Chain A
Amino acid sequence: MSRQATGTAFVALLRRDFLLAYRRRAELLQPLVFLLVVVTLFPLGVGPSPALLANIAPGVIWIAALLATVLSLDSLFRSDFEDGTLEQMVLSGQSLALIALARTVAHWLVAGLPIVLLSPLLAMWMNLPDEGLLILIESLAIGTPVLSLIGAIGGALTVSLKRGGQLLSLLVFPLYVPLLILATSAVSAAVVDLPYTGQLGLMTAGLIASLTLAPFATAAALKLSLS
């Protein structure tokens, strides 16, 4: 049974995901609108004073990014699980970790990247000083893939559950704690001209670690959910 190089399967899967995402463009906006809503709630809640907002800006933007990612994670494998596509993928002999990675990359490009692109707007709203903006974008660029990779494990574990949504956030939030701490401290350090490369370095290490380990955990979770 000749199995072509898994590379073509990876590309075929990515192309299909983009096509599907394109066909459901409206649904892509939901997590992003949610992101904007969450950030606008903070000035309404804590008051518009620029100094206060600037102080909490990194935390607020990052927490909003985290919530928006988790919101879009639930549908990561769900539609494939329900119409039997996931079953055939598992049986196709292609490495399941690769399929998990392809789905996660597609999810990041569709849900994570827009957050990075929207961050200047959020920084403006939260009155983040200019020195911090570049580092905010950098930290989001490194951090959002980690959110998708670790979130994919939770998504795969809860895919066969009817009300998997809340359970998914309970599972992944503790795992996001280190990333949140490092990212917000990097941006805050940049704002007051303190060194921030250490935090970004650790986040990149986290990205590489989750890039190599998370797909295997997701693959195991998918096989388990299908059994």
Chain B
Amino acid sequence: MNPIYLFFHKTGSPPWFYKYSGKLIPWLWALFLALTIYGLYLGLFVAPADYQQGESVRIMYLHVPTAWMSMMIYGLMAIMGFIALVWRIRIMEVLVISSAPIGAAFTIIALITGSLWGRPTWGTYWVWDARLTSELVLLFLYFGVIALYNAFDEPRKAARAASLMSIVGAINLPIIYFSVEWWNTLHQGSSMGSDGPGIHPSMLLPLLLMATATKFYYGANLLTRARLCLLKQDHRKRWVQDLLSKESN
């Protein structure tokens, strides 16, 4: 067997993945917390308020990173789904399935923080603003993938169906975003441009810090959920039995 295939084969074996991802998770959580604390400190206390919107722009440090994450995770699900479908690598299927709830969580946060951010300037909690509407459609895409996974009873088949749906969804995602953007300018004149033409340099640093922090959060949460999924699926297999006996005594 050539080395690359061997590597995939080895990392593909559940016990190997379970052990080494377990070691990685604490570091990811630590990095996430450190970056978040530093980023929030800068964002909430050091960075200046926006000259137009005043203080409410500080919500940007949560809204923008989570919005980016919601799109990035869906794209990642499509890529992992493609690999899972073509090479039938079980770990990839588990990663696709474990990413979906995290992506949905980020989308929900992006939606809520977006409407809270707009409230002072718009006067209402919900305006059919281009970005919020696309986030809402993205949330339906996530619910579609999750519902499709739960509709099948055989886990491997369910994972492949969810992977195929995330690929189809990801291909349509940019088209949805552009058409909603275009639809918004059609009905409401120029878009509100809530985060202003140029971001003040001192606002940029906390934004980037928070963006990287959310990525570590995704990494840690994804691995935790993937390990749980593996345990649930392989509970009859020997490596889980050994794990249990090793842990209990």
Contact = CB atoms under 8 A, between A and B. Distances in A.
A–B direct contact (CB < 8 Å) = yes
Given A174-B140, A181-B179, A157 B172 contact: no
Contacts of A181: 179-180, 182-183
B116 interface: no
A170 B151 contact: no
B172 A178 contact: yes
Interface residues of A, number: 26
A170 B171 CA distance: 17
Interface stretch (B44-52, B100-108, B156-164): B156-164
B165 interface: yes
B144 A174 contact: yes
Contact of B147 (A167, A221, A225): A167
A167 B151 contact: yes
B164 A224 contact: yes
B16 interface: no
B168 interface: yes
Interface string A138-152: 000000000000000
B169 interface: yes
B112 interface: no
A221 B161 contact: yes
Contact of A161 (B151, B175, B176): B151
B174 to A, nearest CB: 10
Contacts of B230: none
Which secondary structure characterizes the binding site on chain A?
Answer: helix
B186 interface: yes
A174 B176 contact: yes
B179 A178 contact: yes
Interface string A2-27: 00000000000000000000000000
A121 B126 CA distance: 36
B85 interface: yes
A63 to B, nearest CB: 15
A158 interface: yes
A217 B165 CA distance: 9
Interface string B166-195: 011101100110111011001000000000
B178 to A, nearest CB: 8
A55 interface: no
B216 to A, nearest CB: 29
Interface in B196-241: none
A220 to B, nearest CB: 6
Contacts of B171: 213
B148 A174 contact: no
Given A174-B137, A175-B172, A220-B164, A182 B179 contact: yes
Interface string B129-158: 000000001101101100110011000010
A220 B140 CA distance: 23
Interface string A149-166: 000010001101101100
A34 interface: no
Contact of A174 (B160, B169, B183): B169
Contacts of A173: 140
A173 B176 CA distance: 11
Interface of A: 153, 157-158, 160-161, 163-164, 167, 170-171, 173-175, 177-178, 181-182, 185, 206, 213, 217, 220-221, 224-225, 227
> Which 10 pairs, one residue from A and one from B, show the smallest C-beta to C-beta distance?
A178-B179, A181-B183, A171-B144, A174-B140, A181-B179, A178-B175, A174-B141, A161-B151, A170-B144, A175-B172
10 contacts: A157-B161, A157-B164, A164-B151, A174-B144, A177-B180, A178-B175, A181-B179, A220-B85, A224-B160, A227-B157
